[in-house]
Structures are given as C-alpha cells and as structure tokens.
Structure 1
Amino acid sequence: MTRELILLRYGLLIIPAILSVYVYEYADYDRFTLHFLLLLLLATLGARLSRRFSVLTGGMELIVTAWLCYNYGLLMVFPALSAVISYTRLQQKNTALAFFCIHLALLNAAFLHTAPALLVFTNLTVLLCAGLNLLLLRAGRGRTDTLSLYDELRKKHFELEEARARLLQFTSHIEVAAQAEERVRIARQLHDDIGHRLIRVKMMTEAAIHTLPSAPDTGLQMMHQIRDQLSGSMEDMRAALKRINHTPQLEGAYALDRLLEEVGRDTGIATSYTVQGIPYPLYPSLQVVLYTNAREAITNALRHGKADSVWISLTYTDHEVSMEAGNNGRLPEEDPLHKLHHGGGMGLKGMTERSVLIGGTLELRLQPQFTVITRLPVYRQPEGYLAR
C-alpha cells in the first residue's frame, strides 16, 4: 500500500477509538484500550508478515472489528472499514471477496438488535467503502501500467536512436566506400583513356614535326588533329577532377544547394535556396526523396516551362520537413492538378510515389509561380523530452 493509504488505515483505527472515549461511557476503559491495542497489533503484523500469515491476521482482524462493533457501538464501523482497505489490497481476489462477505455478515450480526436505520447505514457505508477502494485499486494499477508502458517506450526510443545512429554511420561508410571505388575507376580512366590519348598526341606531334617542312598542308592537318585530341583530353580531365574533388555540403551527396549550384553553372539560369526553421539531421530516405523530387522539378521547369529562374525553399518543423521547388516558367497547357490526381505523367507520378512511400504528400501550386511542394513526416522528439 502507498503511504497515504497506510495513514488513512491507521487514522480509521486511532481517531474513532479516541472519539468513542468521549462519546460513549464504558464500564472498563482499560479493557477497551487493551482491545484496541490488540487490533493495532493485528493491523501491524498483517502488513509486515508473509502472505500466508497475512491471511490469518486478516481473518482475525475482521472478526475483532465485528466484535468491537457489537460491544462498543457504531463508531467501531470505521476500524471495520480500515480492515476492508487492508484485506482487499493484501489478499488475492477470491480471498478478498470471501473475507468481505464474511465481514459484512458479521457486521450485520453485530448490529442485528440495533435500529434498522443504523443497520442500513452500516451496510451502505461498508459497501461504499469497498466500491471506492476497488476504484482506487484499479486506478493505481492503471497508473502502474502507464508508468511501465512509458518506461518501455523510453527504452524503445533509446533503441531507435541507437539504431538511427548506426544507420547513419553505416550510410557514411557506404558513401566513403562508393567514393573510394569511384576514385579507383577514375584513376583507371585517367590511365587507360587520357594516358593513351596523350601518348598518341606525342606520336602525332613527332610525325607533324617531320612532315611540316616537306608537306605543310598535311602537317597542318595533323596539327588540327593534335588540337582536337588535346581538347578532348582536357574535357576528360575536367570531368575526372570534378568527380574527384566533389565535396558534399549540408546533407552530403544529396545537398539541395549543391544541386542548384550545378544547375546554375551548367545552364546559366538564376537559382535561389532558402532554409526556414532550425535545421536538424534527416534520415537518408528523406534526403533521397527531397533531392530526387527537386531534381525532377528543376528538369521539368527547364524542359517544359523554359524557365530562366528556379528556387528551392526548405522548411523545418517539429513534425515535418517541407520543400517548395518553384520556377518562373510558363504554366503547362494541361491542368497539372488534374493530371496529378489522375496519375500524372512519369515525372509527377514518380515524385508522388516516392513521397507516399515514406508517408509524405506531393502538392502543386500554380500561383504566383508554378511550385511543387513535397511534405515529409519527421519522427523526432523535442529537446529535453526524455529528461521530463
């Protein structure tokens, strides 16, 4: 029992005993005191002994309280209520029910020769106490179950966070391994393609040196071929160096700002990237969906909308991350909202399927500019959540 119930139990024993001394006149107060000390001893032993002995003390306590009611008056009903609180919590369900029935029968026998109103009052009081005690017992068990469930959820939360950390670490290892494999492939390309091409240029240069004095036209034609070979080698070298020096920013290989930077550099259009809210790490699946949808939206803007300006706005909230990818191109002739709701083209369909796969949604907005909105749920707890 809780400390509050223990105080209530002993209060129901001691306070009525003190009041009965002032309310009733007894022939022998020493004997009355001895009886109450015996009741207190039974109550104390029942709370401290094992379950087997507590059954014995509980049975003795209900007999003693009924006998006190018979000998010392109506105020002794309250020690009987204290016994009800005790055995309904310390005994098993069937034992407690048997104790209650026996106890109620003994109390009715004790007050059998009193006024009918007192008998009715006694029965209603005992039944009401038993009902309230049962409700408190169920509420306590519900609170215990809730605390146990909370502890289990907190444990699962820690396990999920640990799994997430391992997943991010594993993703980082995969990315590093992929970069290493790509560098090896580029090194082979440099050796096989560019290296062999440079050797061929060297041989053509030597041949041109010997040919120019005697056949200027043939030698000049060979020089043009050498220039073309060198130009191709330079392009291959730039592409290889671009892949080698690729340094991801923000969300790694799926950084939206880098995507816009590359699009602006390759096409010459104006780009804009904004972030609202406080950024936090995203799961790799969310990064991939945002990056892929943004790339598809930009490709459609350039190919179909003939846009000369694109922009991306990323918004972080506690429960979702949303990305708006817009452009100033011309609006499509066919209603894109109708197209989206009826399956859409391959691009819209792919963006929708990727978003829905992880519980998100895809929306289109036509005014003031054509905008593709991707909303993805984020499952995270606020700072300090577990500390509470």
Structure 2
Amino acid sequence: MGYLLTKKTLLIIPILVFIPFSFQFYLRLSWEQTLSIGADNLLFCFIGMWASFVANAYYQKNKLVADVELQNKLLTHYSAEIEKMTLLEERNRMSKELHDTLGHSFISLILSLDASITLMDSKPAEAKDRLIRLRTLAEKNLDEMRNIVHEMGEEEESSLIRQVESLVDRFREHTGTALTLSLPATERPIRFEVRQAILRVIQESFTNALKHGKASQLHLELKLSESNLQLSVRNNGKPIDKLNYGFGLTTMKHRVERLGGSLHLSSGEGTPVITEVRCEIPLKGMRPHVEN
C-alpha cells in the first residue's frame, strides 16, 4: 500500500478517521457508532485512493502509449529521411563516378580519333591500325564501367599500384604523351573509396593537362605511408593565369575532402613544372569532411 501514500493522503487519513471522535460529544454518538463511522471513513478513503491510483495509472499508461507512438512516428520519419539521404548520396556518388570515368574515356577517344582522322588520307594503314586500337579501348572502357557499377557497394581489396599502372599504360598508348612514374615499392590494403578517388584525380589531372594545358610531358608520383597517401601530378603545359575549379576539379576536390583529405593546384610561369595537382588522403583515423 506504500505506493498509495502521499503527503496529501497522510494528512487526509487522520482527519477523516478522527472527525467522528471530535464530534462524538456534540452529536451524542456512542463509541460503537463513532468507531463504525471512523472505519467507514477510512474504508472510503482507501477506496478513493485506490480509484485515484487506478485513474492516474490509466492516464500515465495512455500518456506513455501516446509518447511511444510519437517516438515511433519520429523514428519512422527519421529512418525514411536517412534512407532518402543515403539513396541520394549513393546516386550522387555513382553519377560522379560515371561522369569522371566517362569524361576521361571520351577525351582519350576524341584525341585518338582526331589523330586518326588526320592520318586517313596520308597514312590510311596507320589510321586503320589506330581505329582498331580505339575499338579495343572502347571495350576496355565498357569493362571499366561494369567494374565500377559492380564495385560501388563492395570493399574489394584491389591493388592501387596495379590500377595506376594500367591507367597510365592506356593513357600513354592512346595519347602518345610522355609520362614518367614514381610509385612505392610496396603497397598496403586501401579501401575502395580511396582507390577510386585517387584514380579519378589522376584521370582528371591527365585530361586537363592535355585538353587545357596542351602538355607533352607528365610526371606522376605516389607515396604511401602508414598514416596517409600522397599524390602529385605535374606537367609541362602552358601556365594557367587564373586557377579555378571547374566541374571536374570541383568533383575531385569534394570526393577527396569527403575522405578527410585535401587537394591543391599550383601554377607558375618560367618553370619547367607549369602545373601541379597535389592530393593527400589520410589512411588512419579518417575524419569525414563536413560541408557548411
């Protein structure tokens, strides 16, 4: 019965019980009548207390049910919003991935097709040979697109160094650009998102160097440590008067920053190295980039 007792009931019970005794003399009640009235008052008091307890418990139960329903609605809404955001983020991620890959592939194809068109009249045999190789490149690009779609949701531990070497070999073959490499002798496992970010940075850097800088020589340097990954792509193209981030570079920058890394461009006249793209991504304790 302890849960029925409160400060109010502790005051009311003695008053109701002793009221009959207080008026016993004035009402000329016998002791039996007085005790009976006191017992009745005590009984009614406990009945009232019990009814109040039941009503309060019912109210609290309904309030708790309402709170739970509200929380469930909020959680359902929150889950729907999270799912919507996740799907939107995944869609944006895939669209950027496809854009980066398609852009690089089409630039390579266009450059090679331009060269083939130039050779059509003077050197038809060489032009035909180039077109055959371009068909092979198109098939490889199709395979790469399929691999990207397949790997988007996977954490496959592929070799970044082998992927970089393959990308560079194809670029050399189809553009004829002089390209030197400096790669680490050993490699450590690197997550899919990091590998893809680095490959897209390399592709965009190569494409911009040829398309905008008209570069004839490029140098790629990749460094790996226990804590971070560093990439540098330099070229001898024409200087850039105003360094700005177009759509491709903005996509690269956002991709790297989401992994907790940074991307910088530098350009200067009168030096062998006209333009450099530098990228650094942490491999331990990565902190996600928060956009304001």
Q: Provide TM-score, normalisation by structure 1.
A: 0.32
Between Structure 1 and Structure 2, whose CA radius of gyration is higher?
1
Pick 1 or 2: higher relative contact order, CA cutoff 8 A, min separation 6. Answer: 2
- As a proportion of its length, which structure holds more helix? 1
